[in-house]
Structure 1
């Protein structure tokens, strides 16, 4: 069903009320957000989190599963933006061979590896995040191939090529938000049912020339468990969440993006983060997500069922 747009008066009131939401806070302007390199099960990874002076503790972990052959370095702006809403964002480079080709191809097992990393990092004496990580809460972000791997994991199924070995979803997994992602079979018609066990949001660029908006619509309709959401970012293409268009090594999008990279990154990060904060139980995020966000954000249109 279509999200109902709030009246101007209600939107203004709710916008004022949500000014207390922990988005990119003033503290982050005064103190540098945390960013450091690590390894997750041997994979090099970058970590982004709110500044050490930020009053928020028990930060949930968001694992960002990269697009095929898109380096982790291409997601720095998006990852920083999501982290500003109160997450520890982990962006690994996972290299493996599929169909005889070696490349950066994420897989479902990375979720459990990231849960183990979070426990170790939260306890590590020298960590800038010591004692600040909510080790019981994991959410997924994903782009293209990585989003498809994450979507498969939300069903608890091992789906090649996104699963090299059987990998059940960890108990800590609470929700997911994927960009440029669908489950449409190549050259096929229709979308197989998505028997998801956690809430899922799809964020889709309307100008995507590699993952068609119609395929995202079909996938959204195939998602079985609620709440679910489809956020269409006007003018964004397949690389609307990367630092620049057509990152080196990745398949270029033949469809040009018609909004700035900053606009598409911020809109995608905002809606992904607010959806995930809501499913993690943050009431104020839910007020914005379900009641006012679509009315005050001109860069998107939204469908949801909850």
Structure 2
């Protein structure tokens, strides 16, 4: 049973509010490599989690923040290339190392409290005169990136539901700052509870799925996509990518390996996945050029993907 929650804006009103943010968001469309902005990096702290922060150093105006929720047992350093790629489209990408105890294992396991912690970090960092991002953060806007276990935790955030092991409280409230999610190698199939009948997602969700993923199976992503009740929603199938298509290298140390080999290069899987994730998120923040790409022209022009979308 879902606990009663305070009254909130109806979903169409919330999506309209997200679109109204367009004026504060950088307009983005796929650009030549020579036009890509320089991405800077520094280390920070999100509550008790050490974090890497990536941002376009020459961006003008306030930037939305993308919280990257890592895969199980994957250190944040393994997402550097992907985080830089997403940041180049006009995001501050924050990658915390969220370490906690899950089923007697103390390791990197994201939880649903991370978005609220990231929002606190956004406020503090924006007000910190010594930060490279002082006065440059759109503190009303947080989007989610997720990988595997972290993506599953983000699905709980999107659905405003609470389930073990991603959420350990009696209920969960979706922060109003969270606007959309793009999740790689993610589905809602749980070894404890099986598949839920449906997912009443309160924000737009994109699933990015490698076609040769041997850990989070493509069929499970397809099933999860059909169970997302609300649009905009999208599934992007990246040809030849496996479960670690967004990490710096295959089978990062400490994580369970994917026995399914990836026939495309790591650079290609990262670039493709980051492009579709960034532009989907930009589209949900009101960027018309990004929306045109992800919902109209991108599938035909990108030979590395096949895409299914629902825009409303």
TM-score calculated relative to the size of structure 2: 0.87
1:252 aligns to what? 257
1:81 aligns to what? 85
SS at match of 1:149: helix
2:245 to 219, 232, 240: 240
1:297 to 285, 293, 302: 302
Deviations 1:4-56 (A, max 9, x none): xxxxxxxxxxxxxxx97375875656xx42200000011000000001x233x
How far apart are 1:188 and its partner, in Å? 7.8
1:276 aligns to what? 281
2:69 aligns to what? 65
User: 8 Å contact 1:184–1:192 — kept in the other structure?
Assistant: no
SS at match of 2:157: helix
Q: How far, CA to CA, are the matches of 2:304 and 2:44 in structure 1?
A: 34
The verdict on how the C-alpha distance between 1:211 and 1:141 changes in structure 2, with shifts beyond 3 A counting, is same
Q: How does 1:142-221 map to 2 (within 5 A)?
A: 142-165=146-169, 166-186=171-191, 191-221=196-226
2:140 to 136, 142, 153: 136
1:102 is the counterpart of 2:106:
yes
The verdict on how the C-alpha distance between 1:184 and 1:195 changes in structure 2, with shifts beyond 3 A counting, is same
Deviates more, 1:160-169 or 1:111-120: 160-169
User: 8 Å contact 2:185–2:209 — kept in the other structure?
Assistant: yes
The verdict on how the C-alpha distance between 1:28 and 1:20 changes in structure 2, with shifts beyond 3 A counting, is closer
2:43 to 16, 37, 40: 37
2:121 aligns to what? 117
How many aligned residue pairs are there?
Answer: 284
Gaps of 5+ in 2: 1-26
The verdict on how the C-alpha distance between 1:46 and 1:187 changes in structure 2, with shifts beyond 3 A counting, is closer
How far apart are 1:190 and its partner, in Å? 5.2
How big is the alpha-carbon RMSD for the aligned residues of Structure 1 and Structure 2?
Answer: 1.8
Deviations 1:171-230 (A, max 9, x none): 100000000000123398755311100000000000000010000000000000101000
Q: How far, CA to CA, are the matches of 2:177 and 2:86 in structure 1?
A: 19
User: 8 Å contact 2:74–2:253 — kept in the other structure?
Assistant: yes
TM-score calculated relative to the size of structure 1: 0.89
Q: How far, CA to CA, are the matches of 2:97 and 2:195 in structure 1?
A: 32
The verdict on how the C-alpha distance between 1:160 and 1:241 changes in structure 2, with shifts beyond 3 A counting, is same
User: 8 Å contact 1:24–1:85 — kept in the other structure?
Assistant: no
1:21 aligns to what? 29
